[in-house]
Chain A
Amino acid sequence: EDQVTQSPEALRLQEGESSSLNCSYTVSGLRGLFWYRQDPGKGPEFLFTLYSAGEEKEKERLKATLTKKESFLHITAPKPEDSATYLCAVAASGSARQLTFGSGTQLTVLP
Protein backbone atom coordinates (compact mmCIF):
# COMPACT_ATOMS: atom_id res chain seq x y z
CA GLU A 1 0.00 0.00 0.00
CA ASP A 2 1.32 3.43 -0.95
CA GLN A 3 2.11 5.67 2.01
CA VAL A 4 3.07 9.31 2.32
CA THR A 5 4.22 10.88 5.59
CA GLN A 6 4.81 14.58 5.99
CA SER A 7 6.70 16.33 8.77
CA PRO A 8 6.45 18.45 10.72
CA GLU A 9 2.67 18.66 11.09
CA ALA A 10 2.95 22.38 11.80
CA LEU A 11 5.75 24.91 11.44
CA ARG A 12 5.92 28.52 12.56
CA LEU A 13 8.63 30.71 11.05
CA GLN A 14 9.58 34.31 11.32
CA GLU A 15 9.57 36.24 8.07
CA GLY A 16 12.92 35.62 6.37
CA GLU A 17 13.66 32.44 8.35
CA SER A 18 14.38 29.66 5.84
CA SER A 19 13.36 26.06 6.52
CA SER A 20 12.45 22.74 4.89
CA LEU A 21 9.38 20.53 4.86
CA ASN A 22 9.77 16.77 4.53
CA CYS A 23 7.74 14.21 2.61
CA SER A 24 8.68 10.54 3.03
CA TYR A 25 7.04 8.03 0.74
CA THR A 26 6.67 4.30 0.22
CA VAL A 27 5.34 3.38 -3.19
CA SER A 28 5.58 0.46 -5.58
CA GLY A 29 7.11 2.30 -8.50
CA LEU A 30 7.01 6.09 -8.40
CA ARG A 31 5.46 7.73 -11.44
CA GLY A 32 5.53 11.21 -9.96
CA LEU A 33 5.68 13.17 -6.71
CA PHE A 34 3.58 16.30 -6.47
CA TRP A 35 3.62 19.30 -4.17
CA TYR A 36 0.53 21.36 -3.60
CA ARG A 37 -0.33 24.43 -1.56
CA GLN A 38 -3.74 24.68 0.07
CA ASP A 39 -5.19 27.86 1.54
CA PRO A 40 -8.16 27.72 3.94
CA GLY A 41 -11.44 27.21 2.07
CA LYS A 42 -9.67 26.56 -1.23
CA GLY A 43 -8.66 23.55 -3.26
CA PRO A 44 -5.05 22.39 -3.47
CA GLU A 45 -2.99 24.52 -5.85
CA PHE A 46 -0.40 22.66 -7.93
CA LEU A 47 3.21 23.69 -7.32
CA PHE A 48 5.65 21.07 -8.65
CA THR A 49 6.00 17.61 -10.13
CA LEU A 50 9.19 15.59 -9.61
CA TYR A 51 9.69 12.37 -11.55
CA SER A 52 13.09 10.94 -10.64
CA ALA A 53 15.65 10.99 -7.86
CA GLY A 54 18.00 13.95 -8.11
CA GLU A 55 15.46 16.16 -9.80
CA GLU A 56 14.92 19.70 -8.50
CA LYS A 57 12.30 22.33 -9.32
CA GLU A 58 12.17 25.98 -8.24
CA LYS A 59 9.48 28.62 -8.13
CA GLU A 60 10.07 31.96 -6.43
CA ARG A 61 11.02 31.18 -2.80
CA LEU A 62 10.23 27.47 -3.10
CA LYS A 63 12.53 24.66 -4.19
CA ALA A 64 11.52 21.00 -4.29
CA THR A 65 13.99 18.12 -4.34
CA LEU A 66 13.56 14.35 -4.65
CA THR A 67 15.47 11.29 -3.48
CA LYS A 68 14.46 7.63 -3.70
CA LYS A 69 12.72 7.79 -0.34
CA GLU A 70 11.76 11.39 0.32
CA SER A 71 11.20 14.86 -1.01
CA PHE A 72 11.96 18.21 0.55
CA LEU A 73 10.28 21.52 0.00
CA HIS A 74 12.77 24.23 0.86
CA ILE A 75 11.39 27.67 1.63
CA THR A 76 13.93 30.49 1.38
CA ALA A 77 13.28 33.81 3.13
CA PRO A 78 9.55 33.16 3.50
CA LYS A 79 6.96 35.91 3.61
CA PRO A 80 3.61 35.93 5.45
CA GLU A 81 1.83 35.21 2.17
CA ASP A 82 3.61 31.84 2.06
CA SER A 83 1.47 30.76 5.02
CA ALA A 84 -0.63 27.77 3.92
CA THR A 85 -0.83 24.01 4.23
CA TYR A 86 1.64 22.25 1.94
CA LEU A 87 0.59 18.84 0.68
CA CYS A 88 2.74 16.14 -0.85
CA ALA A 89 1.25 13.39 -3.04
CA VAL A 90 2.53 10.43 -5.03
CA ALA A 91 1.33 8.71 -8.16
CA ALA A 92 2.33 5.05 -8.37
CA SER A 93 2.86 2.79 -11.35
CA GLY A 94 0.43 0.05 -12.20
CA SER A 95 -3.29 0.41 -12.63
CA ALA A 96 -3.73 3.05 -9.94
CA ARG A 97 -4.57 6.48 -11.25
CA GLN A 98 -5.16 8.36 -8.06
CA LEU A 99 -2.84 10.47 -5.98
CA THR A 100 -2.04 9.34 -2.46
CA PHE A 101 -1.71 12.40 -0.25
CA GLY A 102 0.16 13.06 2.95
CA SER A 103 -1.58 14.83 5.79
CA GLY A 104 0.21 18.08 5.09
CA THR A 105 2.40 20.61 6.87
CA GLN A 106 0.65 23.73 8.11
CA LEU A 107 3.11 26.60 7.66
CA THR A 108 2.67 29.92 9.42
CA VAL A 109 5.04 32.77 8.61
CA LEU A 110 4.95 35.59 11.13
CA PRO A 111 5.74 39.18 10.10
Chain B
Amino acid sequence: DSGVTQTPKHLITATGQRVTLRCSPRSGDLSVYWYQQSLDQGLQFLIQYYNGEERAKGNILERFSAQQFPDLHSELNLSSLELGDSALYFCASSVAGNNQPQHFGDGTRLSIL
Protein backbone atom coordinates (compact mmCIF):
# COMPACT_ATOMS: atom_id res chain seq x y z
CA ASP B 1 0.00 0.00 0.00
CA SER B 2 1.61 3.24 -1.22
CA GLY B 3 -0.55 5.46 0.98
CA VAL B 4 -1.95 7.32 -2.04
CA THR B 5 -5.72 6.91 -2.42
CA GLN B 6 -7.59 7.42 -5.66
CA THR B 7 -11.33 7.36 -6.21
CA PRO B 8 -13.26 6.10 -8.00
CA LYS B 9 -11.46 2.95 -9.19
CA HIS B 10 -13.58 2.70 -12.32
CA LEU B 11 -15.61 5.27 -14.20
CA ILE B 12 -17.77 4.64 -17.24
CA THR B 13 -19.33 7.56 -19.02
CA ALA B 14 -20.26 8.84 -22.46
CA THR B 15 -18.67 11.23 -24.92
CA GLY B 16 -19.20 14.88 -24.15
CA GLN B 17 -19.56 14.33 -20.43
CA ARG B 18 -17.47 15.70 -17.56
CA VAL B 19 -15.90 13.71 -14.72
CA THR B 20 -13.84 14.42 -11.62
CA LEU B 21 -11.12 12.14 -10.34
CA ARG B 22 -9.95 12.45 -6.74
CA CYS B 23 -6.59 11.82 -5.11
CA SER B 24 -5.46 11.88 -1.49
CA PRO B 25 -1.66 11.99 -1.18
CA ARG B 26 0.50 10.20 1.36
CA SER B 27 0.57 11.82 4.75
CA GLY B 28 3.20 14.57 4.73
CA ASP B 29 3.61 14.77 0.95
CA LEU B 30 3.07 18.25 -0.45
CA SER B 31 3.48 17.46 -4.16
CA VAL B 32 0.80 15.77 -6.22
CA TYR B 33 1.27 14.63 -9.81
CA TRP B 34 -1.24 13.37 -12.35
CA TYR B 35 -0.35 10.91 -15.10
CA GLN B 36 -2.26 9.29 -17.93
CA GLN B 37 -1.47 5.73 -18.97
CA SER B 38 -2.76 4.33 -22.23
CA LEU B 39 -1.69 1.25 -24.15
CA ASP B 40 -0.03 3.17 -26.95
CA GLN B 41 1.43 6.09 -24.99
CA GLY B 42 2.69 4.63 -21.76
CA LEU B 43 2.77 6.84 -18.67
CA GLN B 44 2.48 10.51 -19.63
CA PHE B 45 2.83 13.36 -17.16
CA LEU B 46 -0.13 15.74 -17.05
CA ILE B 47 0.32 18.25 -14.25
CA GLN B 48 1.92 18.82 -10.84
CA TYR B 49 0.79 20.76 -7.80
CA TYR B 50 2.85 21.68 -4.79
CA ASN B 51 1.13 22.85 -1.61
CA GLY B 52 -1.86 24.15 -3.54
CA GLU B 53 -0.03 25.81 -6.41
CA GLU B 54 0.49 24.58 -9.94
CA ARG B 55 4.19 23.82 -10.49
CA ALA B 56 4.52 22.10 -13.84
CA LYS B 57 2.43 21.18 -16.86
CA GLY B 58 2.98 18.34 -19.25
CA ASN B 59 0.85 17.01 -22.06
CA ILE B 60 -2.42 18.12 -20.52
CA LEU B 61 -5.28 19.00 -22.84
CA GLU B 62 -7.14 22.29 -22.42
CA ARG B 63 -10.27 20.24 -21.67
CA PHE B 64 -8.53 18.93 -18.57
CA SER B 65 -7.86 20.88 -15.39
CA ALA B 66 -6.75 20.14 -11.87
CA GLN B 67 -6.50 21.72 -8.47
CA GLN B 68 -5.05 20.98 -5.06
CA PHE B 69 -7.04 21.93 -1.99
CA PRO B 70 -5.84 23.22 1.41
CA ASP B 71 -6.04 19.71 2.86
CA LEU B 72 -3.67 18.69 -0.01
CA HIS B 73 -6.06 16.37 -1.78
CA SER B 74 -6.27 16.95 -5.51
CA GLU B 75 -8.90 16.64 -8.19
CA LEU B 76 -8.48 16.15 -11.92
CA ASN B 77 -11.41 17.42 -13.99
CA LEU B 78 -11.92 16.05 -17.48
CA SER B 79 -14.57 17.67 -19.68
CA SER B 80 -16.03 17.27 -23.17
CA LEU B 81 -14.82 13.70 -23.03
CA GLU B 82 -13.79 11.92 -26.21
CA LEU B 83 -13.29 8.23 -26.91
CA GLY B 84 -9.53 8.78 -26.91
CA ASP B 85 -9.62 9.91 -23.29
CA SER B 86 -10.23 6.33 -22.20
CA ALA B 87 -7.18 5.43 -20.11
CA LEU B 88 -5.85 4.82 -16.64
CA TYR B 89 -5.30 8.03 -14.69
CA PHE B 90 -2.75 7.85 -11.90
CA CYS B 91 -2.02 10.21 -9.09
CA ALA B 92 1.36 10.22 -7.37
CA SER B 93 2.73 12.16 -4.43
CA SER B 94 6.15 12.99 -3.08
CA VAL B 95 7.92 15.17 -0.58
CA ALA B 96 9.40 18.37 -2.00
CA GLY B 97 12.14 18.11 -4.61
CA ASN B 98 12.08 16.55 -8.05
CA ASN B 99 14.74 13.99 -7.22
CA GLN B 100 12.53 12.37 -4.61
CA PRO B 101 10.61 9.21 -5.49
CA GLN B 102 6.97 9.56 -6.39
CA HIS B 103 4.52 7.10 -4.88
CA PHE B 104 1.55 6.11 -7.00
CA GLY B 105 -2.04 5.27 -6.25
CA ASP B 106 -3.79 2.40 -8.01
CA GLY B 107 -5.42 4.68 -10.53
CA THR B 108 -8.86 5.40 -11.93
CA ARG B 109 -9.81 3.46 -15.04
CA LEU B 110 -11.88 5.75 -17.26
CA SER B 111 -13.93 4.21 -20.04
CA ILE B 112 -15.71 6.43 -22.54
CA LEU B 113 -18.56 4.78 -24.45
Q: Which residues of A line the B interface, CB within 8 A?
A: 31-32, 34, 36, 41-46, 49, 51, 87, 89, 91, 95-104
Contact = CB atoms under 8 A, between A and B. Distances in A.
Given A91-B99, A97-B98, A102-B42, A45 B56 contact: no
Q: Most chain-B CB neighbours within 10 Å: which of A43, A100, A101?
A: A43
Interface residues of B, number: 26
B56 A43 contact: no
Nearest to B90: A43
B interface SS class: strand
Interface of B: 2, 4, 6, 31, 33, 42-45, 48, 50, 55-56, 58, 90, 92, 98-107
Contacts of B55: 97
Contacts of A97: 31, 33, 48, 50, 55-56, 98
Contact of A43 (B45, B98, B99, B106): B106
A89 B90 CA distance: 15
A41 B37 CA distance: 11
Nearest to B44: A101
Contacts of B101: 32, 34, 46, 49
